[in-house]
Structure 1
Amino acid sequence: MKRVALASDHGGFGLKAEVKNYLTSKGYEVVDLGTDSETSVDYPDYGAAAAHAVLENRADCAIIMCGSGIGISISANKFKGIRCALCFDTYTAKMCRMHNNANIMALGGRITTIERAADMVDLFLTTEFEGGRHQKRIDKIEELAKDSWC
């Protein structure tokens, strides 16, 4: 069974609660990293919390949400070893795993229905990385991180 970390800011809180219920109903272990309400908070804190959970093996992967999914995905991608993909349909959810071996998926809480999110979550959690030519590209991304200007 996969341990899935969930994190969101206030803009993603509603969808996070629905995704949490969905995952729990399917038997996944959920690590809820907050936030716990619609009170305004800073999305970088929650993107970082999810990245740390994955990098420290407290979760096998993560699903993160803010209003659009953009800010929280940018935040998570600041961490070496994280490949966070902002997904908006089933194709992007499948391809982020198949070709990019994404370990975090970001969703827009204000633009994604639970029905669409459930389909994307299922694909993100069950699609295997193809490896092969795609591994070479993942390796290049890791090399680029070594030369980071940050």
Structure 2
Amino acid sequence: MPADKVNVRVFLGADHAGFKLKENIRQWLKERGVEFVDLGVYSAEPVDYPAYAERVAREVGNAGEGKALGVLACGTGIGMGMAANKVRGVRAAVCHDEFTAEMARAHNNANLLCLGARVLQTGGEALKIVERFLETGFSAEERHGRRVKMIYGLETRKPKQAAKKRAKK
């Protein structure tokens, strides 16, 4: 599915290091008519990235399965990814090339893309990654669905249940 045919809302966020990249992505989405919500930052003033990761992750997680995607940008993408993955229902993936963006969606049903503005040297490279992420759907293969359900189980299982499950194997 081409990025201009994306039928879900895209939530954007960044910290100060990812501000310029987020603005480029914002403009790119606007030019393609993709529905998006920009949750900040709105300048390059220093901020704490977990707050912006949480804003975007909560929107994506609360939207329901298949209803929203997110894109976060910081210096490396790593901090945003770590913070976003603490939110229930979010499967954030740090991607630095088109292949990993495609596999994150197709095999892991990632719903939030994290980009490193200091890692990706050109805006064009980042936009190709965003496009690949948005245009790729989740695989219909049973093994991928089973594995994503297992990931969801990690969010809902109590620690003692997890220990018992490990002990049985």
Aligned partner of 2:144 among 134, 140, 148: 134
Q: Deviations over 1:2-52 (max 9, x none)?
A: 311100000100100001001111110120000011111010001100111
Q: What's 1:3 paired with?
A: 9
The residue type paired with residue 105 of structure 1 is L
Q: Give me the TM-score of the superposition, normalised by structure 1.
A: 0.94
Q: What's 1:124 paired with?
A: 133
CA contact (8 A) 2:62 2:89 kept: no
Q: What's 1:77 paired with?
A: 85
Q: What's 2:60 paired with?
A: 54
- Greater alpha carbon shift after TM alignment, 35-44 vs 55-64: 55-64
- Gaps in structure 1 of 5+ consecutive residues: none
- Report the alpha carbon displacement of residue 148 of structure 1 after superposing the two structures with TM: 5.9
- Greater alpha carbon shift after TM alignment, 29-38 vs 138-147: 138-147
Runs of at least 4 residues off by over 6 Å: none
Aligned partner of 1:17 among 14, 23, 33: 23
Q: What's 1:32 paired with?
A: 38
**Partners in 2 of 1:136 and 1:95 — Cα distance?**
16
**Partners in 2 of 1:114 and 1:44 — Cα distance?**
23
- Gaps in structure 2 of 5+ consecutive residues: 1-6, 160-169
Higher helix share: 2
The residue type paired with residue 95 of structure 1 is M
- Report the alpha carbon displacement of residue 147 of structure 1 after superposing the two structures with TM: 3.2
Aligned CA distance change for structure 1 residues 16 and 56 (closer, same or farther; 3 Å): same
Aligned partner of 2:116 among 101, 108, 123: 108
**RMSD of equivalent CA atoms:** 1.5
The DSSP-based 3-state class of the residue aligned with 2:47 is coil
The 5 Å alignment of 1:85-100 reads: 85-100=93-108
Aligned residues: 149
